[in-house]
Amino acid sequence: MRFSQRTAVVTGGGGSGIGMETACMLAKEGARVILVGRTEDKLSKAAAYINEQTIQEKAVFFRADVTNEEEIQALAQYVKEAGSLDILVNNAGGSGQSKILETSLENWDEVQSLNLRSVFLVSKVLGKLMIESSKEKRMDRAIVNVASLSGYKAGSHIPHYSAAKAGVINFSKALALELAPYGIRVNSVSPGFAETPLTEEGLQNTQFAAAIEKNTALRRVGKAEEIAHVIAFAASEQASYMTGSDLLVDGGWLIK
C-alpha cells in the first residue's frame, strides 16, 4: 500500500467533499489519518466512517480552527506526540458571493483567512514538524495544498475566493523551494467544478449545471473522488520528483 506506516494530517476532512474523500483514500492505502476542523460532531462522524471503511482504527480527529495560530500550535503538539508527520493536505476553505465594489473588508478578510491564511499557518507550524521528522529519518514527505480553477480564471462574484486561491498556488511554489533541501515536496491541486458541499447549492440549478457541462471539455461535473485521486498521487512516492507544481483537474475548462 502506498501510505503504509505514514501519518497524514488532512484539514477540512470532516465534511463530505474532497477532504473526506482524500482522508478516506489515504487511510485505505495504509495511512494513519488525523482529521482537523472546527466542528467536532462532523469530525467524529467522518473518523467513524473512515474506520468503518478500513475495518481498522486508521482515523482520529483534532478539533482546531485552522486560522488560529494558538490552536494550530496545539495541533502540532498533538501530532508530535503521535510520532512523525509525513503528509499534510491543506484542504480547508470556503467562499461566498459578492461583487468587488460591494464586498466589505470583513467579508474579504474572512474568505482570505479561511483559504490562504490557513494554508500559511498550518504549513508553517506543521512544516517545522516535518523538517524534524526528515532530520530523524530521510524519506519522501509531501504537502498538498488544495487550490482551485478560480486561481487561474476569476469566478463570477467570488473575487475574494479567486484571489485567495491564486495565492495558494503561488505560496505553494515558494514553500516548495524552501522545503526542498529537507526532501519535503510541496504541490497544489486545483479542482474545477466538482460535486462538493461548496458547489451543491449551485448545481441544483439546472441552468447553472448545464452551463458548466457546456463549458467543460469533458461535458460533465467532476466528482470529489476524482480530485482525491490526484491529491493522493501528489502525496505519494509516485510523484517523488515533482515539487512546486500545480495540478489542474478541471475537466478541460481552461482549454475551451
Quote the pLDDT of residue 96: 82
Q: How confident is the model at residue 94 (pLDDT cuts 50, 70, 90)?
A: confident
CB 38 within 8 A of CB 64: yes
* CA angle, residues 12, 180, 247, in degrees to nearest 5: 50
Q: Does 96 or 54 have the greater pLDDT score?
A: 54
Looking at the predicted structure, is the pLDDT value of residue 62 above 80?
yes
Which residue(s) pair with 90 in the sheet? 145
Looking at the predicted structure, is the pLDDT value of residue 200 above 80?
no
DSSP per-residue letters across 161-199: HHHHHHHHHHHHHHHHHHHGGGTEEEEEEEE-SEESTTT
CB 8 within 8 A of CB 235: yes
- Would you list the domain boundaries of the chain? 7-248
- Which residues are annotated as catalytic? 161
DSSP per-residue letters across 63-93: E--TT-HHHHHHHHHHHHHH----EEEE---
Question: 160: which residues sit within 8 A by CB, 6+ positions away?
Answer: 95, 96, 98, 103, 107, 108, 111, 112
What does residue 59 show for φ and ψ, rounded to 5 degrees? -115, 135
- Tell me the per-residue pLDDT of 103-156, one tens digit each, with 9 for 90 and over: 999 999 999 999 999 999 999 999 999 999 998 888 899 999 999 999 999 877
In angstroms, what CA-CA distances link 214 with 10, 151, 165, 218? 33, 21, 24, 9
| Among the four given CATH numbers 3.30.565.10, 3.40.50.720, 3.40.50.2000, 3.50.50.60, the one describing domain 7-248 | 3.40.50.720
Quote the pLDDT of residue 137: 83
Question: 206: which residues sit within 8 A by CB, 6+ positions away?
Answer: none
Question: pTM surpassing 0.75?
Answer: yes
CB atoms within 10 A of CB 182: 16
Looking at the predicted structure, is the pLDDT value of residue 19 above 80?
yes
- Tell me the per-residue pLDDT of 175-190, one tens digit each, with 9 for 90 and over: 999 999 999 999 999 9
CB 227 within 8 A of CB 191: yes
Looking at the predicted structure, is the pLDDT value of residue 198 above 80?
no
Tell me which residue of 136, 140, 92 sits closest to 118, measured CA to CA: 92
